[in-house]
Amino acid sequence: MNQPLYAIPGASEAVPPVSVAAASASGATTVAEVLADSQVEAVLDELDRDLIGLAPVKQRIRDIAALLVIDKLRLNLGLAAQSPSLHMSFTGNPGTGKTTVAMRMAEILHRLGYVRKGHLVAVTRDDLVGQYIGHTAPKTKEVLKKAMGGVLFIDEAYYLYRPENERDYGQEAIEILLQVMENQRDDLVVILAGYKDRMDTFFKSNPGMSSRVAHHLDFPDYNQTELLSIADLMLQQQNYRFDTAPGADARAAFGDYLNLRIAQPHFANARSVRNALDRARLRQASRLFADRHRALSRDDLTTLSADDIHGSRLFQRG
Ligand SMILES: Nc1ncnc2c1ncn2[C@@H]1O[C@H](COP(=O)(O)OP(=O)(O)OP(=O)(O)O)[C@@H](O)[C@H]1O
């Protein structure tokens, strides 16, 4: 292994060169044994259950997990040559689940012994790049130190590269990242996230980065039916539900809301659903608060009415 130019304190010196080796000491010879040892299937099942839609993304995560499991079995028989390259790009519009899936990916990598801790550190350009000369390297190294043993998630990663400014400090951060992605890839996985078209341009201008990223996952926008199911799931997780009484159907009202919201600027998929539900809960609370002397039942406290949804400013227009 090459010596890293940018050593991250407390990082790989403490870890064996291929950390998977330690985790495979169990001597498993079947896929079932590796799955049972690592309990990785529970994370995959959770991913299926907790995330609506995203079929292509879920399949890719399963494929990557399969690769890692087989890699462990190969290692047990002394067949592996090098730890696999696991850096990834997650592209898609805001609110399509990139951060959420990255957290699950970190968990999978941890359970299979590819990273020591399995945490996720999410950053943007400002966390890595300084304003003045000499500030970028320490900033980037500090972030890398925090991320070691887990996943570094760089949102809108293409902002690191600003070709219009020849002396942009982003380039310095990119160079440090490239070193660490190559030399310490046995204990750090980097996920670059952002809009697909901008990421494509970034990779074209940064072949070094492109060659280090092995897995590209594209997150599609959700359709209205999926967004409605996401709303159901989010409400269920918080002990709420839509009133579905005939004639006052809050779920149908939310479907109408979504149709209006999708056409608005800055629509952010599941994030917009979460924000809209938060505002509906506020309206529900105000409605209940106004009725001071009525004993509030479990039903009252958990139900969002059609009026709570229709109170949105989107319905007030025209
Ligand atoms: N498929 C899904 N099913 C259920 N909830 C989802 C789904 N996708 C996203 N969410 C929820 O929507 C919110 C936004 O998701 P997340 O932050 O992962 O998106 P993102 O693509 O990283 O967006 P951004 O780039 O804007 O941060 C989170 O609360 C997440 O739990």
pTM value?
0.87
Average pLDDT, the chain: 88
Q: Whose CA is nearest to atom 4 of ligand 1?
A: 51
**Do 104 and 212 belong to one domain?**
yes
**Would you place residue 286 in the very low, low, confident or very high pLDDT band (cuts 50, 70, 90)?**
very high
- Tell how far the Cα of 260 is from the centroid of ligand 1, in angstroms: 20
**Would you place residue 19 in the very low, low, confident or very high pLDDT band (cuts 50, 70, 90)?**
very low
Q: Please report, as a single letter, which amino acid is at residue 163.
A: P
Ligand 1 atom closest to 90 (CA): 21
Ligand 1 atom closest to 156 (CA): 25
Residue 23 above 50 pLDDT? no
Has residue 77 been placed in a domain?
yes
Q: Would you say how long the chain is, in residues? A: 318
Give the chain's domain count: 2
Q: What SS3 state is found at 245?
A: coil
ipTM of the complex as predicted = 0.96
- Tell how far the Cα of 122 is from the centroid of ligand 1, in angstroms: 14
Say how far apart CA 163 and CA 149 lie, in whole Å. Answer: 32
Q: What SS3 state is found at 190?
A: strand
pLDDT of 137: 93
Give me the domain span that covers residue 247: 224-315
Residue 65 above 70 pLDDT? yes
**Do 85 and 211 belong to one domain?**
yes
Q: End of a domain among 219, 243, 265? A: 219
Q: pLDDT per residue over 99-143, tens digit each?
A: 999 999 999 999 988 899 999 999 999 999 988 888 999 999 999
pLDDT of 318: 56
Residues with CB under 6 A from ligand 1: 51-54, 92, 94-100, 155, 230, 233, 268, 270-271, 274
**Would you place residue 20 in the very low, low, confident or very high pLDDT band (cuts 50, 70, 90)?**
very low
Pick the closest to residue 116 from 47, 32, 18 (CA basis). 18
Residue 78's region, left for phi above 0, alpha for psi from -120 to 50, else beta, is left
Ligand 1 atom closest to 97 (CA): 18
Q: End of a domain among 219, 251, 271? A: 219
